[in-house]
């Protein structure tokens, strides 16, 4: 899965830099033009042997597999004056409870109530001081069903597909894969001076690559972003309609 593996930032090794395209997703973002994507899955707990799906169990399941998606525990570090592309750094204060949230809609909720909730949550920007993703465990649907809404920034997932992430974190058969959790120790967050030093060393040791990145960032990336947005819009028009209604203001949202 390209883009998901990350190098350690121990010693003199460079933190991972965002690509020119991924950087543009951040630079082009505005309060009324967000650059995150979302997806909703409906699950039926009655298909489980015990007939139940609990939020704490779901959260523990995702946390056990978090090491398979390293970017989910990393955040963006911007260089002063944007002299270079942003870098990925470990989130030393990573809190799974901030990213995985339990919510409910008025029961028994249908598509309208679920759409109202998703529209309201999707309209908020992701917090750039933390890893750029959120997952909501939504209860209250008719028939005892559960909705899983995921919200992820383009800068994190571009170059891979949301399905790739889903295939790592979740199982698509009743028999769950046996994935051993790994202990995670975050690397110390680099200071601004350390980030600038890494950028300067990289620019000197790889000058041609650095110039190519700057050129692609200044010229090619915005066109690529616009082309990407247009392709998403065309894809959306080809999908069956799922109307988002005006927010009802009801329901209980995760913190």
Distance from C-alpha of 73 to C-alpha of 95, rounded to nearest angstrom:
9
Q: What is the pLDDT of residue 196?
A: 84
Cross-strand partners of 18? none
Closest by Cα among 122, 111, 112, 101 to 39: 122
Distance from C-alpha of 202 to C-alpha of 193, rounded to nearest angstrom:
14
Other beta carbons less than 10 A from residue 120's beta carbon: 17
Lowest mean pLDDT among 43-52, 60-69, 194-203: 194-203
Q: Is the pLDDT of residue 228 over 90?
A: no
Higher per-residue pLDDT: 210 or 39 = 39
Q: Is 99 noted as a catalytic residue in this protein? A: no
| Tokens describing residue 143 | 């028939």
Per-residue pLDDT averaged across 216-245, rounded? 44
CATH architecture of 20-238: 2-Layer Sandwich (3.30)
Distance from C-alpha of 154 to C-alpha of 137, rounded to nearest angstrom:
21
Q: Is the pLDDT of residue 101 over 60?
A: yes
pLDDT tens digit sequence for 105-151: 999 999 999 999 999 999 999 999 999 999 999 999 999 999 999 99
Other beta carbons less than 10 A from residue 77's beta carbon: 19
Lowest mean pLDDT among 21-25, 169-173, 189-193, 207-211: 207-211
Q: Which of 99, 154, 198, 213 is catalytic?
A: 154
Question: Could you tell me what percentage of the chain is helix, strand and coil, using 3-state DSSP and rounding each to the nearest 5?
Answer: 40, 20, 40
Whole-angstrom Cα Rg for the chain: 20
Other beta carbons less than 10 A from residue 197's beta carbon: 13
Per-residue pLDDT averaged across 241-252, rounded? 38
3-state secondary structure of 76: strand
Q: What does DSSP say about strands 100-109 and 87-90: parallel, antiparallel, or unpaired?
A: unpaired
Q: Is the pLDDT of residue 220 over 60?
A: no
With cut-offs at 50, 70 and 90, classify the pLDDT of residue 92.
very high
């Amino acid at each position: 899965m390209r883009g998901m593996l990350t190098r350690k930032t121990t010693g003199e090794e460079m933190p991972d830099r965002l690509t020119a395209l991924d950087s543009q997703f951040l630079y082009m973002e505005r309060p009324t033009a967000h650059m995150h994507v979302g997806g909703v899955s409906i699950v039926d707990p009655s298909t489980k042997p015990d007939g139940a799906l609990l939020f704490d169990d779901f959260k523990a399941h995702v946390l056990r597999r978090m090491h398979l998606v390293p970017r989910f525990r990393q955040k963006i570090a911007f260089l002063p004056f944007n002299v270079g592309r942003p870098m990925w750094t470990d989130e030393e204060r990573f809190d799974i409870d901030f990213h995985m949230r339990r919510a409910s809609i008025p029961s028994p909720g249908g598509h309208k109530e679920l759409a109202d909730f998703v529209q309201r949550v999707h309209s908020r920007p992701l917090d750039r001081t933390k890893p750029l993703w959120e997952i909501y465990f939504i209860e209250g649907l008719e028939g005892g069903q559960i909705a899983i809404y995921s919200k992820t920034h383009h800068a994190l997932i571009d170059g891979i597909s949301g399905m790739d992430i889903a295939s790592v974190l979740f199982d698509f058969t009743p028999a769950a894969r046996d994935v051993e959790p790994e202990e995670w120790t975050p690397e110390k967050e680099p200071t601004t001076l350390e980030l600038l030093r890494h950028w300067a060393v990289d620019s000197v040791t790889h000058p041609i690559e650095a110039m190519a990145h700057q050129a692609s960032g200044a010229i090619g990336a915005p066109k690529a972003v616009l082309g990407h947005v247009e392709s998403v819009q065309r894809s959306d028009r080809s999908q069956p309609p799922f109307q988002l209604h005006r927010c009802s203001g009801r329901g209980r949202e995760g913190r």
